[in-house]
Structure 1
Amino acid sequence: MYSIKRTARLAGLIYLVVVVTGIFSLAYVPSKLIDWKDAAKTVQQITASESLFRWGIASSILCYIAFLGLPLALYQLLKPVHEQAAKLMVILAIVSVPISFLNMQHKFEVLTLIKGAEHLQIFDSVQIASQVMAQLSAYDDGLLIVTVFWGLWLLPFGFLVYHSGMLPKVWGVLLVLGCFGYLINFFGRVLIPDFGEMFIARYITRPASLGEIGTCLWLLIMGARNRPGFLAPEAVISR
């Protein structure tokens, strides 16, 4: 039997996997291993904590797999609100996944470099460290491209949440603001060389984080309430 609360909690559970694995791989692991001002130290830390670096890769892969299922679960929940917006949400979210997977090749290149493959013996430690940082920088550049779609999917998602009546409107507002925050962050970093050092850069994507984590926890804990006029499929069939 169709259940709004069951569908909402499934979406919340998948969302939780995305949030937890995303925080681990995108924030925790880099904070422990990467020093952008010291290539030699970065190589030393990755080499000494190779298992943590590998767990970061595995966590990213799990995050992207979960992110394939998340918009589909949300589509089932939110399509009665506005089906075209729900379809757009799914498309914009899923487009980011193959880009994210391809971008992971740079982290596998880092593993190859620190393991000292035979064909790399001609390079000294300084050159190896330089190549490691180049691969990590390329990964970050690819991640920046992906954030365009991480932002765009939040626009129809926020619209649907706001108008659904199933969740608090504040989450919808934060999700929409998060969309523009991601886009401002992307174009700011592309067009302004020192944008990353600006005060705004630290906070511009906060609405997205608050909106996504808030929506995730609300779906997981509270589920979703029937909105006025919403009918579950079996109710329609019974008429």
Structure 2
Amino acid sequence: MSPRDRTARLAGLLYLLVVLIAPYRLIYVPSSLFVDDNAAATVANIATHEMLFRLGLAADLVCGALQAFMVLALYRLLGEVNRRHGIAMLLLGGALVPALYFFNVVNDAAALLLVHGGNALAAFDPAQRAALATLFLHLHGQTVGAAEWLWGLWLFPLALLVLRSGFLPRLFGYGLILNGLAYAIQSLAWALRPDWQDTLSSLLGPLQFVEVLFMLWLLAMGARRGFRRLHDDAPTPAGA
């Protein structure tokens, strides 16, 4: 197995871990603990199942770190194809996306402090603390809506690198562009027309599986020039 092949498989493995872990806080915790329009019940559920909620904090921390290392692996794999696109991918996907994961941990930590109360929060009665805790939980969800913009943007330089690589299927490049557009459109809907979000999620959701297919390809197949034949087998000069 070549060094490039090993790097591709490592990136695919880290990608897989992000895909498996991220839904815990994104989907499982809210569906298990949060009660719509009932702050008191939500706070009671968090207090009763605190470890389940704390695992959500841990999941976001782990996903942030995995995302950073995964993009670093992709940069090692694809950075020489085009330096400018590689740096853009590294900045958007390897720095800004993890930063939002870590920021969202603070929202959940604040909610947990309000659930516990204590002397520092003695000025607030239980109903006020529950309302504030729910506010921070909503901020977590709103941050996810904003993060979708970055989830989409970092896929564009990745797609361009895949298209120009010569050792990954070109089809994934076009698919990742569509995947990125799907995230970007959903984020704009979150900002401008929240009432469209459910409809757009249903329509654009299938496009977001391109990332999953790309991840599985990297993990199972690696990166070998035999997948594509180019007239010029050499990588594009850096900065071209």
Give the TM interval when normalised to the shorter protein: 0.7 to 0.9
What does residue 75 of structure 2 align with?
A: 75
After TM superposition, the structure 1 = structure 2 runs for residues 1-239 of structure 1, keeping only pairs within 5 Å, are 3-93=3-93, 94-196=95-197, 198-208=198-208, 210-226=209-225, 227-228=228-229, 229-230=232-233
Residues 67-113 of structure 1, C-alpha deviations (whole Å, 9 max, x = no match): 11111111121234333222211111122222332232110011101
In 2, distance between residues paired with 1:116 and 1:35? Answer: 20
| 212-221 vs 113-122, which moves further | 113-122
Instruction: Please tell me whether the aligned partners of residues 63 and 98 of structure 2 are also in contact (alpha carbons under 8 angstroms).
Output: no
| 61-70 vs 101-110, which moves further | 101-110
Pairwise CA distance, 1:170: 3.5
| 74-83 vs 173-182, which moves further | 74-83
Instruction: Please tell me whether the aligned partners of residues 15 and 216 of structure 1 are also in contact (alpha carbons under 8 angstroms).
Output: yes
| 134-143 vs 61-70, which moves further | 134-143
Which segments of 5 or more consecutive residues in structure 2 lack a partner in the other structure? 236-240
Residues 6-60 of structure 1, C-alpha deviations (whole Å, 9 max, x = no match): 1111111111222122122212222212223322221122111110110111011
In 1, distance between residues paired with 2:184 and 2:67? Answer: 20
Identity of aligned residues (%): 35
Tell me which amino acid in the other structure corresponds to 1:8.
A
Tell me which amino acid in the other structure corresponds to 1:187.
L
Pairwise CA distance, 1:152: 0.3
**The residue matched to 1:43 in structure 2 has which SS?**
helix
| 161-170 vs 146-155, which moves further | 161-170
- Corresponding pairs, count: 230
Instruction: Please tell me whether the aligned partners of residues 86 and 156 of structure 1 are also in contact (alpha carbons under 8 angstroms).
Output: yes
**Change in 2 beyond 3 A, CA 1:24/1:230:** farther
Residues 206-230 of structure 1, C-alpha deviations (whole Å, 9 max, x = no match): 413x121111111111212225454
Residues 151-201 of structure 1, C-alpha deviations (whole Å, 9 max, x = no match): 1000111222234343333332221112111111111121114223x4223
**Change in 2 beyond 3 A, CA 1:185/1:48:** same
In 2, distance between residues paired with 1:82 and 1:211? Answer: 22
Pairwise CA distance, 1:126: 2.2
Which segments of 5 or more consecutive residues in structure 1 lack a partner in the other structure? 233-239
**Change in 2 beyond 3 A, CA 1:193/1:11:** closer
RMSD: 2.2
Structure 2 length-normalised TM: 0.86
Tell me which amino acid in the other structure corresponds to 1:75.
Y
What does residue 237 of structure 1 align with?
A: none
Instruction: Please tell me whether the aligned partners of residues 166 and 233 of structure 2 are also in contact (alpha carbons under 8 angstroms).
Output: no
In 2, distance between residues paired with 1:72 and 1:131? Answer: 37
Instruction: Please tell me whether the aligned partners of residues 172 and 211 of structure 1 are also in contact (alpha carbons under 8 angstroms).
Output: no
